[in-house]
Chain A
Amino acid sequence: MTETVLNKTQTAASKAGHTGPLLQVEDLRTHFRTIDGTVRAVDGVSFHIAGGETLAVVGESGCGKSVTSMSILRLIQEPPGKITGRILFQGTNLLDLSEKEMRAIRGNAISMIFQEPMTSLNPVLTVGRQIGETLRLHQGMDEKQAEARAVEMLDLVHIPEAKRRVREYPHQLSGGMRQRVMIAMALACNPQLLIADEPTTALDVTIQAQILDLMRELKSRLGSAILLVTHDLGVVAEMAERIVVMYAGRKVEEATARDLFARPRHPYTQGLLGAVPRLGSSLEAKGRSRLSEIPGIVPNLKKPIIGCAFAGRCPAVTDICRSVAPAVETKAPGHFAACHHAPREAVAA
């Protein structure tokens, strides 16, 4: 049974003639029905990821970036949630698949690592069992093969004494080690896409750097594309090739990492970048010593937002911002922003 589903999705995945991006998200809307109204956690977001590419989705807490990533794997509880739009993975719309077909993709072609390594591993099962589980499920390995492969995976993520560790339980490992185990688990089946939801947020800074190094190393070795969800612009700068900035459930800007950091177009992105502390900045000229902040708070997602979602906090706000929602427009080649006032570069004809 599972076998046929597997084959089906694998053929679907390696469908000849599929030339588009690995993942194409179109007009994704994830709404939650609650007692006091519908929460529009994600409201019409589109982006794509090419094979082997790293795309970062950034934004502050509650902007819908985690919900976006959970929606791709359809890990949103439905109801109360409702996902609409299209999520094309190698040309197949994941929203059309049955739950069973979806299960054959989760942990196999697309896998995910989470923010909290402390609580994301099952405390009562050995690490080897948890890594081996995916292999037994998706690759039909028996217990022995799965354990041998789990040892290899632990080696791959640089956990010393993998043979011994594979029989240990999560509480016997440090936070950094647990995140390595999560990564090993996610990569066990060689996924084409790895979704990393705040993978380093819960870790110490030194451990963060190690985990980022590891992710970069494994990416170049295994060739998986990465969808990196984070609020940490430092992490983004180190990892991502392209960046999508989200605000209040919408995409406000998208550009290559280089472009975005050099010439942010949207006032929100400019605000975000201005709020990042830099070492040595206090030694610079007077007036540059204070971190800027974005005044105000995120709008209530239970009410439909009229106009630009950022209007209430924007320094450059005008009347049109409060009445007409800006469309995501090309501001420069490969650089998109949803702002009425963001300057547009003249595109050579």
Chain B
Amino acid sequence: MLAYIARRVLATIPVMLIVAFFVFSLLYLAPGDPAAVIAGDQATPQDVERIRASLGLDRPFVVRFTEWLWRIVQGDLGVSIFTNLPVSHMIAQRIEPTTSLMLITIVLAICIAVPMGVVAAWKAGSWIDRAVMAFAVFGFSVPVFVTGYVLAYIFALQLDWLPVQGYTPLSEGFWPFLENLILPAIALGSIYIALIARITRATMLEVLAQDYIRTAKAKGLGSRGILFLHALKNAAVPISTVIGIGIALLIGGAVVTESVFAIPGLGRLTVDAILRRDYPVIQGVVLLFSFVYVLVNLAIDLLYTVFDPRIRY
């Protein structure tokens, strides 16, 4: 088991290297010149050239990539072109809102989606099942920013139950903190909920047709015991896989959600950095997201052993 974890952690290194390469080269190939942006409208070509040289943008790709990588390995994500602050410092400032938003979304989504999928499978073909499936299609097809604005319009502007936008740190109390994140979490989570509910339903349908479910019925178990112990534990592996993979949806969605709800998180930082072509910041944030994604999925692979004793590493 420990050897397996070590191997998996080591295996993340090449993955991260590939991610790093893409992050670096995509921005290198992207149109627009940061030197020109920094220099401003009034600058002469000589000014731009000078700024470019001072940023090291005139040197060959491979040299810059290797140097950059070496610094990253040492934990130095570089300095923002725009603010001159260390990227790690800027990320640290913005990480709390994003982490909070993601965690609340994940918890909320699992608590809503899994029971929804279980009930839909149990009552397959009934109106509940159809309602869940309709919701799932809806959740998939409506983009986050639309859901976000609609939710804000109804629950914040019309009903005045929750704040329209903004963020309150956890240190200022749990309720003000939560209040600001409920609507963003629902907006961000709707696709995620739809995804998890669908997989839960499909997997549960398959599990409920198994012989051991018939055995459980023959033992006199009620539907709750059958569904949530005998069936769900068997369905847990595919469901948790999708929960892990779906984190990618959340990362993408967080960027949009944070813009809609004016949350000062990593998503906003990313958008701002892209608009300013602030390469070091973009690179730092994307690397961080990829790293988190890889780690979460490793954790879920390890979680399989808890659900299914037949899986041993």
Chain A residues within 8 Å of B, Cβ to Cβ: 73, 75, 100, 103-108, 111-112, 114, 116, 119-125, 133-134, 137-138, 169, 171, 182, 185
Contacts and interface: CB of A to CB of B under 8 A. Distances in A.
B248 to A, nearest CB: 28
Top 8 closest pairs, chain A to chain B, by CB:
A107-B219, A106-B220, A107-B220, A119-B211, A122-B212, A112-B218, A169-B309, A103-B220
Contacts of B297: none
A124 B210 contact: no
A66 to B, nearest CB: 11
Contact of A122 (B218, B222, B230, B307): B230
A242 to B, nearest CB: 24
B217 A125 contact: no
A107 B233 contact: no
Interface string B210-226: 11101111111110010
Nearest to A169: B309
A120 to B, nearest CB: 5
B234 A106 contact: no
Contacts of A125: 229-230, 233
A327 to B, nearest CB: 33
A116 B212 CA distance: 10
> How many B residues are at the interface, by size bracket?
20 to 34
B310 interface: yes
B220 A116 contact: no
A138 B230 contact: no
B33 interface: no
A163 B218 CA distance: 25
A173 to B, nearest CB: 12
A106 B219 contact: yes
Contacts of B310: 123-124, 169, 171
B58 interface: no
B76 interface: no
Nearest to A131: B219
Given A103-B220, A124-B233, A125-B230, A116 B309 contact: no
Nearest to A104: B220
B179 to A, nearest CB: 39
B210 A106 contact: no
Given A103-B221, A107-B219, A123 B214 contact: no
A185 B215 CA distance: 10
B308 interface: yes
B233 A105 contact: no
Contact of B218 (A75, A121, A137): A75
A103 B233 CA distance: 22
